[in-house]
Structure 1
């Protein structure tokens, strides 16, 4: 028996496991990260969805027709062809993403990676994809955070799907203020020329551009514009979560 297995019961006695979303004491499986109540909350986004923005839309009356667009869903012309998101940015997932992104929690990663893979299976089956590209961080933010959450999601999805990752297809050449902290009228400001083509060749490729959270789509669109500049053929955005 490993020493870690010997002392684990004592660690749980001193530091009882709690739900990572609501803080409630967990009973039963000590490896669980969510209580039964939080685990039962389904925030996944399912078909049918808007062809452009990926938000759920009413099913068409004719089963052979395509879902309608949620008119005005993206109030600008995006550089990507369409975007999909695995889940709504609501609790309990919102709290787990916060812990993953800003606290570097490794405990919640497998759960979020599973949601990301499940969403891809559910929403991306009709797309031809040559490679996965993570939205990059500026080097200063990457240095302070020590990881890029989009790259972690991209690598896990690559392992699930077999689609290769092009981590150097695009780079962030200008530091910008986090879009999630900006008011509506200020979002998108400063993103001009924030991204530049990288060293990985993407000309003629169909790409899946991934990030953790979509707020307005401005960031992922600016990143897609740099990939267009490098000759990418078709770009599908895909995020773990999006604000509804």
Structure 2
């Protein structure tokens, strides 16, 4: 039965890709659903070969709290300047890409309906961070929730789509009904750290008390100051969650 279901999903995936070819998450050009190589017809990839090296992964010396790449002048420090100034409720953050190298892709993922980019993001997450995440004992993936009206207007929550694609690969379930965004907030772009935190006060509520976790992974698209994930982490701390990690697609460099 499992084999039949897998074959059915693969067939459905092929038909969908033929009818609606996926777009490259870097240049947004059409990615061929099939390629011809060594006399064989193979499934196409998730990204153009020429675009693979354009997104810059987070590497080198990073902050031991939020995961931001540290500047050379900070490399002897354990934490970045932001994390030395502010107390965070999460234990450790991980990010996949440097923000500037992937910002256009994430914008289209959020606002232009490019949900298929999540396949590439999830695959790259497993390739680059899979071993580290698997060793953390994570029981649940918690995508940052959107305010219901905003979600309805956009049609989807990009963090949820990313989390679900990641779940399919690593086998850790995604929960979207444990915490909700109960307050509509103004856009965070352009706000300083203090204003961001004030903007998010009482924005999230735990709505299920029958599910208990020891270790969770909060998932979002971009890490800037950590205000959003901190508010969510605080709510989960109040319920007794012992270890809280954060994963985002992109992160800026410490300033």
1:32 CA displacement? 6.3
Matches within 5 A, 1:86-235: 86-91=96-101, 93-121=102-130, 123-183=132-192, 186-199=195-208, 201-235=210-244
- d(CA) in 2 for partners of 1:174, 1:229: 19
Secondary structure of the 2:186 match is coil
Q: TM-score if structure 2 supplies the norm length?
A: 0.74
Name the CA distance, whole Å, in 2 between partners of 1:130 and 1:25.
36
Q: Secondary structure of the equivalent of 1:241?
A: strand
Helix, strand or coil at the partner of 1:179: coil
User: What is the CA–CA distance in structure 1 between the aligned matches of 2:131 and 2:187, rounded to whole Å?
Assistant: 29
CA distance in 2, matches of 1:142, 1:41: 30
More helix by share: 2
Paired with 2:88 and 2:141, the residues of 1 have a C-alpha distance of 19
Map Cα deviations across residues 109-148 of structure 1 (whole Å, 9 max, x no partner). 3222222333431542431211111110010111111111
Q: Number of residues paired by the alignment?
A: 225
**TM-score, L = length of structure 1:** 0.77
Which residue number corresponds to residue 64 of structure 1?
none
The 3 A distance-change label for structure 1 pair 95 and 123 is: farther
Pairing of 1:46-125 with structure 2 (within 5 A): 46=59, 49-56=62-69, 69-74=78-83, 75-91=85-101, 93-121=102-130, 123-125=132-134
Helix, strand or coil: the match of 2:205? strand
1:180 Cα deviation from its structure 2 partner: 2.5
Mapped to 2, the partners of 1:77 and 1:119 lie a distance apart of 28
Deviation at 1:54, TM superposition (A): 1.2
Distance 1:50 1:104 in 2: 33
Structure 2: where are the runs of 5+ without partners? 1-13, 36-42
1:43 and 2:56 aligned: yes
Which whole-Å CA distance do the structure 1 matches of 2:93 and 2:205 have between them?
Answer: 21
Q: CA RMSD in A?
A: 3.3
Cα offset, 1:83, TM superposition: 1.0
Distance 1:140 1:24 in 2: 31
What runs of 5+ residues in structure 1 fail to find an aligned partner? Answer: 59-66
Corresponding residue for residue 63 of structure 1: none
